[in-house]
Structure 1
Amino acid sequence: MLKRCLVICCCSILLCGTVRAQEISAIEKKARAAYAQRFTDSTASIQLQLQSLHQAEASHNRADQAICYAYLALTHRRLLHLQEFTKYAELSYHVAGTITDNRAKAYASWVMGALKSYIEDKSRALDYLLEAYRLFTQLEANDLCARIGADISYLFSPGSAEKVKKYADAALVYAEKSGDPESILHARLAVGSYLSDRCASGDPHTWQTAVDFFKQTIAFAEKEHNSIISKSNIGVAYINLAVLYISGAPPVDEKAFLACLEKAGAIARRYDLKNVYRSAIGLRGQFFMQKGEYRIAENLFKTGIAYQQALPYKDNYLLAAFYACLKDLAARQKDYAAYYAYDIPFTTYNQLKYDESTQQMLQNADARFESDKKITRITQLEQENKLQKKNKLLGYGISAVLLAGLIFMYRSYYFRQRYHQNREDILQQQQANNELRLQLMEKETLESLAEKLSLERRLLQSQMDPHFIFNALGNIQGMILQKDTALAVAYLSKFAKLSRQVLEHSRMEKITLEEETGTLKNYIELQQLRLNKSFDYHIVCDPTVDTHVLIPPLMIQPFVENAIEHGLKPLPVGRRGLLHITFTENSIDHLLVCTITDNGIGLTESRRRKTDDSHRSLSTKITDERLQLMLKDNPHTRLEIREQDAADGQGCVVTLYIPII
């Protein structure tokens, strides 16, 4: 939670400084002034910017049009309007591409870099921002160089610490040259960011340097408070200093830490900075939890949840983080009822967070694809325009040759027709290639997303319970110490075979039922060894079931593990356990029905004794998610878990309806 709630992205745009080296137009000044109102009245800010754009269009000044489009794009970025942000950014870049004005080209490259950064296309974002940085450097626009230099340093993090430092330091130099407090504060936050990163990487000598630097930054911000438009940056400085205090070597300077949070909270309340306010609450709660003052920490986390839920939008990431902290508090106090109560909303918001992340990833992938598609189309149109110009020039040349003499008419006509035919063939081939390239790009985008999801699932499948491995090896070691070499070798062979099967199956999309049952037998026999042969097992396949039928791998083992761990293992001494696994086939719905029955203590008693829900999260929950994914191919896929009927005795019955591949 600390990383999510307390690290606030400094996203204000520095446009309030005065460009000293070049006189800017009256329309650009008006657009700047309108943009500066984005924090106080975003609607009025957009209306004034549109008025500036209309003036630029009326005066036919394409450079001012490109700059006005850039301001509008950046305003919509702050409002999280991706469609409008994309539209105005591309308009700015298109208009700037039709003229030779370097200032307009610099703005257009800057806003395109911001767009690519927003949709997580980091490599292209760096290309555009570096071009804007170069052009603004030539124009000696120090305040804008400072802003873009800071953005470039953030994009290089954490991949290249050297370049992060280089551009952050350069941003601070340009900001100080500009004399603009807004630019200076933004650049100082970029420098402070890489100092904090060095502290987090384990460099103890940087901690005091970072603390002193942020103290100087805060002193500067307080002094220039009235000149700084983005008040959130002042709150960010206090929050980052508080993070340094709590993450430093103990003991924590409690007075300084709490003073920073009090200042950040006051700024957040005064200017309605929701992220700063939530971060201050989260940091304070983390601090009191570390101190052991759990009641205060609990009240703070609940305050953060109540504040977030009172907002017109829900930040599922923050809500999941707050509930995770409350779960941690309950675990430390061994209040398992509270732990379970907090786990329910945590699971809900965590799933919503995952869904939002997936949706955002798809949206960004679609935006990248559409952007690349437009760029390809623009390139194609440029080629067609060049071809048309060449055709015109060729026509003039032929006309001149015809006027010079009829002798060359037939020859000229022949070669002209031949030239046009070749050009038409080339253009048609280029169009076909571009269409194929667009189709391939779309296919690769979808395939890469599917491959990523498949890889995540395989990684989850490839894990074995460390406790099971430790106990199995311990029992085998006991056999060796007792000189029971033959039995130890036999079980060691089973363990090695099981490990190999799990590794092989985790890399496969499908395996046969025979392979699955073989893996289950090895696993159950090792569990028998671990539990001193305290239970028996039977695996029965209906005669109608083809053992070579293909099914997803490692679907059944988690439930067998639950039956042994939570059903058979807790049985009292003297009562022998029984695990019964049957396989039947539902040919109508194309399903393999697996029924796992045990005579253990039953679901109700198991839940009463259970104090840690992590085991379920690492096994049964993964299988639930895999079954949910299979619903698209077979709507009859499902999982059923119930107590045994009273007439059949005590225990649990798990029924899996697995689609046959």
Structure 2
Amino acid sequence: MILNLKGLWQLGIAFSITLLFYTCSRQDTIRPDIERRLAELDSLSQTQPKQSLLELDSVLQNNKHLTTLERAMVLFNKGEALYLNDQYQEALNTHLKCYDLFVELNDKYNEGRCLITLSGASLHMGDLETSQVYALKALHLAQLIGDARIEGKAYNQLFKLHFKLKDYDKALSYIKATDSLYAKGTDTTSIIAIKSNIASVYLKLKEYNKALASYSEAMSLSQSKGNPKTLVAVLNNIGYTYIEAGDYESAEKFLRGAVALNKNIQAINGAPYKGLGNLFLLMAKNDSAEVNYNKALDIYKSNKNAKEEIEIRDKLVSIAIMFGDYIKALNHQIVRDSLQMHVNSLEKDRLLNFANVNYEVKQKQTEINHQKEINSRNHWLFISIVLLFVLLSIVMVFYVYNTKLRAANKASKLEQSLLRAQMNPHFIFNTLAAIQNITLEGNPIKSSNHISKFSKLIRQNFDYVRKESITLDKEIAMISNYIETQQLRFNNAFTYSIEIGEAIDVSQIKVPPMLLQPFVENAIEYGLKEKKEGGRILLKIEKDAQGLLFMISDNGIGRSVKAKQEKITEELHATSIIRERLKMRKKGEEKSFIIEDLFDENNKPTGTKVFFKLKIK
């Protein structure tokens, strides 16, 4: 009897281990039919990304029993198709999902591939900091597993990032690192792109001979590969380089070569004609320039490339004016302005859609995570029931361990919460409290808007504090956001207005960041805070021959009254700090700094004005 019980015990343990091994290992497999289907869709995504997306969604919806690896690979292919279709936000969200699955599977290779696309999508959306984080993480992972291809792609992403930042020396070092990794490979297409990227950096550095040498290497590789479309692009780039170098004869030769090759392969490409137009315009051959610009214009119109069409029409307007044909110039200008309005409208819609999509994606992600948590609980509950009778003692050990772990985790989270509470400034705490009150009042849309505004203010502070200067429109946007957040705190007890002189181009003029916020904060905290209603802040910006004149005024209780109440010093008004910032600019601007107390006819304090001037030349 004892032997039988011992045999049953061993059999139960063996069965449990086998079941557990099967359950875990099944997640790491991919069935041949799914693998074959993914290969077909991968090829389709290169030529028809939209169709590929529909097929991939069908695979996800019609195969509810996909393994973890299969689901991760389908999501990866979907993310790549979205990226090729310029849907960068959706691509990023999809790759974040499959990245988590690859991390769960400890699949380092596919983790690296996900990070490359995450970096690229972030870069396209203008989030340079996040793009760099993903690229460096991919680089570290590639070096860890010894994968030269992913390492090269990571370096290439860092090249794109620094090229966009106009840090051409670093961009050159990264693209050369990519070149060294790909040089001995067989991926000729990638090597051609790398050589062209190296040339583009040299072109920005005005090292024309080095740029032409790199383009020549790319041209030789294109000829050996027999890829005429790639060769056309290289010839066109060489032509543009010769234009930059001032060798117009060579530029014409290569640009005409690109045109001829396009005709031979029956390709539609407006870039060579645009290049010839630029060339002839520089050579004052306006007739020839107009002919080539019109050819480029026809191609861009047929391709519905509005941005290129706008650029070409700008050139044609100039040529028509030089010929004295003002009617033609006006016609081009009317079409050009109409296109620009359309482009601006599309960009505005894109930004609005981005905000809406981001909110919807977060909502869906919360639902998905909740469902995953439920599924995970059910899965482990089933295994626990099977193992209950044979592994009771082990379950008890795990239960005690898990309980201790949860308690430790809870304590850790509590410590983090207390630390964050200590680090939060008074302004942040009060603002969050105000937003919380709105939420409790049952107005989720209003609270969501204020959360968005507040998070934008925090991001602006983090982004701008490290910069030496920002454009005036960004400074105005930030101070408006700050005042509106303060209005939330004080229940709109005060109003504000910003008056800007007509001669001021706020998008071109640069000023030190966060220059106005201390004065506005003082106006609110030490002037308007005591007023329950009727408070006003006026910010005026005017321009004269010497620079910009700033004036910030309020109708608060005045410095003299507040000083009696709280013994306010000059340091509390941050005037010494502002003067020090102005002194650092070494333009004598600190001498223009004036604080004026306002009084009514009865000599009663009625507010405060601050004046200072910035030299912008």
Task: Tell me which interval the TM-score lies in, with the shorter structure as reference length.
Answer: 0.5 to 0.7
Contact 1:66/1:108 (8 A) holds in 2: no
Partner SS, residue 86 of structure 2: coil
Matches within 5 A, 1:12-161: 31=38, 34-42=41-49, 45-46=52-53, 60=67, 62-82=68-88, 84-157=90-163, 158-161=165-168
Alignment correspondent of 1:442: 452
Instruction: Find the partner of 1:246 among 243, 268, 274.
Output: 243
1:305 paired residue number: 297
- Taking a change above 3 Å as real, the CA distance of residues 83 and 269 of structure 1, as seen in their structure-2 partners, is farther
Match of 1:167 in 2: 174
Q: Displacement, 1:324?
A: 0.4
User: 2: distance between equivalents of 1:59 and 1:337?
Assistant: 65
Q: Which residue of 1 aligns with 2:196?
A: 189
Look up the equivalent residue of 1:293 and give its one-letter code.
K
Equivalence map 1:524-535=2 (5 Å):
none
- The whole-number CA distance in structure 2 between the counterparts of 1:509 and 1:363 is 38
Q: Decide whether aligned partners of structure 1 residues 309 and 63 sit closer, same or farther in structure 2, where only a CA change above 3 A counts.
A: same
Q: Which runs of 5+ in 2 are unaligned?
A: 1-29, 381-392, 422-428, 437-446, 461-471, 479-498, 507-541, 555-617
* Mapped partners of 2:410, 2:144: distance in 1: 46
Alignment correspondent of 1:236: 233
1:462 to 486, 500, 504: 504
Q: Which amino acid aligns with 2:108?
A: N
Match for residue 296 of structure 1 among 288, 294, 300: 288
Cα offsets for 1:533-588 (capped at 9, x unmatched): xxxxxxxxxxxxxxxxxxxxxxxxxxxxxxxxxxxxxxxxxxxxxxxxxxxxxxxx
Deviation track 1:131-155 (CA, whole Å, cap 9, x = no partner) reads 1232233334333433332222011
**Cα distance 1:189–1:419, how it changes in 2: closer, same or farther (>3 A)?**
closer
Partners of 1:207 and 1:31 in 2: CA distance: 44
Q: Distance in 2 between matches of 1:137 and 1:281?
A: 44
Structure 1 contact 129–152 (Cα < 8 Å) conserved: yes
Q: What is the CA deviation profile of residues 200-247 of structure 1, one whole-angstrom value per residue up to 9, with x for unaligned ones? A: xxxxxx211211210110110121136xxxx76544322221210111
The 3 A distance-change label for structure 1 pair 425 and 346 is same
Letter of the 2:339 counterpart: Y
In 2, Cα distance between equivalents of 1:251 and 1:221: 24
Q: Which amino acid aligns with 1:91?
A: K
CA 1:197 to 1:459, structure 2 compared with 1: closer, same or farther past 3 Å? farther
Q: What is the CA distance between 1:109 and its match in structure 2?
A: 1.8
Cα distance in 2 between the residues matched to 1:295 and 1:424: 73
Once the two structures are TM-superposed, the CA of residue 99 in structure 1 deviates from its matched residue by: 2.6
SS at match of 1:177: coil
Tell whether 2:305 aligns with 1:315: yes
Instruction: Provide the C-alpha distance between the structure 2 equivalents of 1:381 and 1:424, rounded to a whole number of angstroms.
Output: 24
The match for 1:279 among 250, 255, 271 is 271
State the alpha-carbon separation in 2 of the partners of residues 84 and 421 from structure 1.
34
User: In 2, Cα distance between the equivalents of 1:79 and 1:399?
Assistant: 48
Structure 1 counterpart of 2:18: none
Maintained 8 Å contact 2:195/2:217 = no
- Amino acid across the alignment from 2:278: Q
Any idea what SS the aligned residue of 2:270 has?
helix
**CA gap 1:161/1:335 in 2 versus in 1, 3 angstroms:** same
CA change 1:127–1:63 in 2 (3 A) is: farther
1:269–1:420 distance in 2 versus 1, CA, 3 Å: closer
Distance verdict in 2 for CA 1:111–1:40, change over 3 Å: closer
In the alignment, which residue of structure 1 is the partner of 2:441? none
Count of aligned residue pairs for this structure pair: 422
Partner of 1:219: 220
Distance of aligned partners of 1:87 and 1:143 in 2 relative to their CA distance in 1, 3 Å threshold = same
Aligned to 1:176: 183
- CA offset digits 1:362-413 (Å, max 9, x no partner): 5556667777899999999999999xx9xxx9x9689989xxxxxxxxxx9x
CA RMSD of aligned residues (A): 5.4
Asked whether the 8 Å contact 1:110–1:148 carries over to 2, the reply is: yes
Q: 1:127 to 1:291 in 2, by over 3 A?
A: same
What residue in structure 2 maps to residue 329 of structure 1? 319
CA-CA distance at 1:123 after TM superposition: 1.0
Deviations 1:113-170 (A, max 9, x none): 2321232211101211221232233334333433332222011113432321122011
Aligned counterparts of 2:545 and 2:328: Cα–Cα separation in 1:
41
Question: Measured at CA, do residues 121 and 284 of structure 1 come closer, stay the same or move farther in structure 2, by a change above 3 Å?
Answer: same
Q: Is 1:331–1:339's contact at 8 Å kept on the other side of the alignment?
A: yes
1:458-607 matches, cutoff 5 A: 458=500, 461-462=503-504, 499=544, 503-504=548-549
Contact kept, 8 Å, 2:256 with 2:272, in 1: the verdict is no
* Superposed displacement of residue 72, structure 1: 1.9
Which residue of structure 2 aligns with residue 343 of structure 1? 333
Q: Which amino acid aligns with 1:349?
A: L
Please tell me whether the aligned partners of residues 239 and 252 of structure 2 are also in contact (alpha carbons under 8 angstroms).
no
Give yes or no for contact 1:63–1:104 (8 Å, CA) kept in 2. no
Conserved? CA contact 1:93–1:112, under 8 Å: no
Q: Distance in 1 between matches of 2:283 and 2:290?
A: 13
Q: What's the CA shift for 1:53?
A: 7.0
Amino acid at match of 2:119: G
Q: Whole-Å Cα distance in 2 between the matches of residues 373 and 51 of structure 1?
A: 22
Letter in 2 for 1:223: S
Instruction: Give the deviation of 1:330 after TM superposition.
Output: 1.8
Q: 1:195, CA displacement in angstroms?
A: 1.6
Distance 1:86 1:398 in 2: 37
Residue 504 of structure 1 aligns to a residue in which SS?
strand
Note if contact 1:294-1:329 (Cα within 8 Å) is conserved in structure 2.
Answer: yes
> Residue 323 of structure 1 aligns to a residue in which SS?
helix
**Post-superposition offset of 1:321:** 1.0
State the alpha-carbon separation in 2 of the partners of residues 178 and 236 from structure 1: 22
CA contact (8 A) 1:239 1:264 kept: no
User: What secondary structure sits across from 2:246 in the alignment?
Assistant: coil
For 2:77 and 2:400, the matched residues in 1 are separated by 50
Deviations 1:177-217 (A, max 9, x none): 33211221222222222122212xxxxxx211211210110
1:387-426 correspondence runs (5 A)? none
- Deviation digits for residues 481-528 of structure 1 (CA, Å, limit 9, x no counterpart): xxxxxxxxxxxxxxxx993799437x7899xxxxxxxxxxxxxxxxxx
Structure 1 stretch 332-341 or stretch 50-59: which is displaced more? Answer: 50-59
1:66 Cα deviation (Å)? 2.3
Q: Distance in 1 between matches of 2:54 and 2:549?
A: 62
Distance 1:50 1:357 in 2: 28
Cα distance change, pair 427–133 in 1 and its aligned pair in 2 (3 A): closer
2:275, 2:236 → 1: CA distance? Answer: 8
Cα contact 2:317–2:332 (8 A) shared by 1? yes
Compared CA separation, residues 235 and 120, structure 1 to 2 (3 A): farther
1:607-633 superposed Cα distances (whole Å, 9 cap, x missing partner)? xxxxxxxxxxxxxxxxxxxxxxxxxxx
Larger RCO (alpha carbons 8 Å, 6+ apart): 1
Provide structure 1 residue ranges, at least 5 long, that are not aligned to the other structure. 1-23, 200-205, 402-411, 465-496, 511-661
Post-superposition CA distance 1:43-98 (Å, at most 9, x none): 665577668879998562x3453233222212222222356534532321232232
Please say if residues 235 and 254 of structure 2, whose CA atoms lie closer than 8 Å, have aligned partners that are also in contact: no
- 1:331 and 1:109 mapped to 2: Cα distance? 51
Structure 1 pair 51–180 and aligned structure 2 pair: CA distance change class (3 A): farther
Q: What SS is found at the alignment partner of 2:544?
A: helix
Question: Partners in 2 of 1:268 and 1:444 — Cα distance?
Answer: 55
**What is the SS of the residue equivalent to 2:106?**
coil
Alpha-carbon distance in structure 2 between the residues aligned to 1:455 and 1:282:
38
| Cα pair 2:241 2:251 within 8 Å, conserved | no
Shift of 1:106: 1.5
